[in-house]
Structure 1
């Protein structure tokens, strides 16, 4: 009988059992696995910890940079590119509650991007309170259902109603006409501009409504209406107060300061593009403020830079170079200011088809008369009944003459116009301010009267 091999050799081919297990080898393998597991714990785990630490630090640095960039945008640069969601988190609670619009209907993406993430390039001013957001129902209640007897203005832009807000503030509520992209653009422009630009010579924006398809703007109320009603009364408003000479000079100075602010104290400059009598409003003391910025254009940041755009404006007020070429500059507003100055002086409208040929357009009729003493006197508004200073009249005529020059390079800056008007606007005591006129040199050139 063959004996069984217990030495660890191969099993007999005829053996029905598997080879025997070698316990020494089994223990050896357990030793290797234990060593490997120990090495894994000592090497891999620390590496993983280091990697997690590096990732965490990187995330913190990225968040810090994002926050720094956000603060820089809010403090000194435009807030372009921020999502509406992140901006809504920074809004006061009373604004955030209106973010979705009435009845949960969201505003249009364009309006939301404009209101909460302005893209005009102006520095955001966090210290200034931004316009309130109203629902359509709130403004409907304020204007007593937008009844016809509450209408205080009507034009191509829409209808203006007198209303009383929930806190008792009397306001002018402008309901804009919805005419495609142009109407939306005008709404966005007014909200963006007047939420950022603050001047005592601009009509203040109280708030706005972008509720569903409704677009409304809420302004401070100007009880004496627009300048046009006083200079050019119609049968429906023939009882308007006649503006005396001193009031007209003060209105001219207020308007000049408004354009000076837009052109020379705002970066980039703002070109009003629709400066005219109907957009000049008067408060209870007949102090003037400029309104209606729906057609405004952001100017070039270059000296005397031009902006090429389609021609918009009102006939009689549009500068000739802009009407012919579409090239818009701040000097285009200076021309329009000169036309308004002529209206204050003469009481005539810019274009009057009822007058005979040669007298129907104000600027070409007035320009050759502005440097002639006798003809200037004949041009004065008859409503003044001769109550004005002839010396002041000559100065006003000279300023108007340079403002309406056909060549834009010959027109002055609004700062120079302001400085030339200051001595003419007398204080209540009757004395003139001591501020020197930087406009004296160019005025004297046109002050050759016979």
Structure 2
């Protein structure tokens, strides 16, 4: 871990690093940031001047990240108060905090601050990976890294990351925790689309391919408008260089989401992320986790359980999240399940790219909107018919009432005329 100068001289304490800078070859930086020794593809330190890896790209954009002092972040979290703790993982704990604007004016900005556990075995490597990758990437569906803290003091090395604050926690929370209202069908589709767009950007829209390697529902965070953003880039890796088919690396990730071909061979490709995405699509459909030990044995593994209910079968609806209570598109659900199945194909080369997944999801959402519009038009037409009938009935009633009143008026006139004639007859009789 001597790639950055603050690891080389630990005798200087209480200092704040302005930015992680390169002091040695890119090869060591690449290895330190997670490229395993057994990597078989071209290294990011290739002599080719045409290829630029994450380290080179990071050098260009590092200035966009803000360097915080440990004291600033300690104050921002009220000394890392347990009351402000909003998450915890293998890397460390995450706290809600507030920081000042760079200019020093305006209202404080809410942020999420992740603090490295000193005893985390992979912590330093993952911290650097996050700084590097999030310092390079920029997309509406990727969480924004605002800055970091890398300071050495009498208590040891402090490593922290500062992200934009995501008030609605994660997709995992909304799917599986009863404290949240069930996500509507359209919202689930939009979250799935946003997450797919984030992965497609990493795979196909950067100068260097990035393999996320830890796609799961807990890493899909939701902002105030439930817009999804991928977080936690500690396990991210550069994809294979030109001419290579894969990256050979130690198998890491989360059980239940990792592609079987990657687990068996250690060969990492972008299609490994596609498999993980297919798992999450089925979580979105079913409202079940990829692995649930408290269920009957045949239902514990989500992918084994759903095999009994193919998308085109009559039993397919049995797997749908009961929280929907029928308020979803069955035809759309079948299409999503078929898309998930294509992501879960055994052979990686047979799986779609994330760009293809994005296009398919857009079509599914468009079909749903058109289906919904057609239903609304039918309902509107039916309402128009009912209203017309009611008006006709009202009109008929009005006509009948008018006729009746006219009839009564004539009867009254007839009675009055008869009474007048009778009075006149009586008067004639009494005349002397």
TM over 0.5: yes
The aligned runs of 1:222-233 (5 Å cut-off) are 222-233=166-177
Decide whether the 8 Å contact of 1:107 with 1:210 is kept in 2: yes
The aligned runs of 1:356-375 (5 Å cut-off) are 356-375=296-315
Report the 3-state secondary structure (helix = DSSP H, G, I; strand = E; otherwise coil) of the residue aligned with 1:124.
helix
1:145 aligns with 2:85: no
Q: TM-score normalised to the size of structure 2?
A: 0.71
The unaligned stretches of length 5 or more in structure 1 are 1-81, 86-99, 433-450
Choose the corresponding residue for 2:22, options 88, 109, 113: 113
TM-superposition CA deviations, 1:353-387 (whole Å, max 9, x none): 12222221111221352333322211100011111
C-alpha separation in 1, matches of 2:224 and 2:24: 31
Equivalent position of 2:88 in the other structure = 154
Choose the corresponding residue for 2:187, options 230, 247, 250: 247
Equivalent position of 1:134 in the other structure = 68
Report the 3-state secondary structure (helix = DSSP H, G, I; strand = E; otherwise coil) of the residue aligned with 2:193.
helix
1:392 aligns with 2:332: yes
1:164 aligns with 2:73: no
C-alpha separation in 1, matches of 2:71 and 2:24: 20
TM-superposition CA deviations, 1:405-435 (whole Å, max 9, x none): 22212211001000000122359x9459xxx
The aligned runs of 1:171-182 (5 Å cut-off) are 171-179=111-119, 182=122
Decide whether the 8 Å contact of 1:162 with 1:170 is kept in 2: yes
Q: State the structure with bigger RCO (CA 8 A, min sep 6), 1 or 2.
A: 2
Q: TM-score normalised to the size of structure 1?
A: 0.68
C-alpha separation in 1, matches of 2:267 and 2:128: 23
Name the count of aligned residue pairs.
333
303 and 424 in structure 1: CA distance in 2 versus 1, 3 angstrom threshold = farther
C-alpha separation in 2, matches of 1:83 and 1:252: 38
134 and 259 in structure 1: CA distance in 2 versus 1, 3 angstrom threshold = same
C-alpha separation in 1, matches of 2:365 and 2:243: 31
Equivalent position of 1:70 in the other structure = none
Equivalent position of 1:275 in the other structure = 215
309 and 108 in structure 1: CA distance in 2 versus 1, 3 angstrom threshold = farther
1:193 aligns with 2:103: no
TM-align CA RMSD: 3.1
TM-superposition CA deviations, 1:59-115 (whole Å, max 9, x none): xxxxxxxxxxxxxxxxxxxxxxx9979xxxxxxxxxxxxxx9996537699x54399
The higher radius of gyration belongs to 1
134 and 408 in structure 1: CA distance in 2 versus 1, 3 angstrom threshold = same
C-alpha separation in 2, matches of 1:136 and 1:116: 29
C-alpha separation in 1, matches of 2:123 and 2:23: 14
Choose the corresponding residue for 1:207, options 113, 128, 147: 147
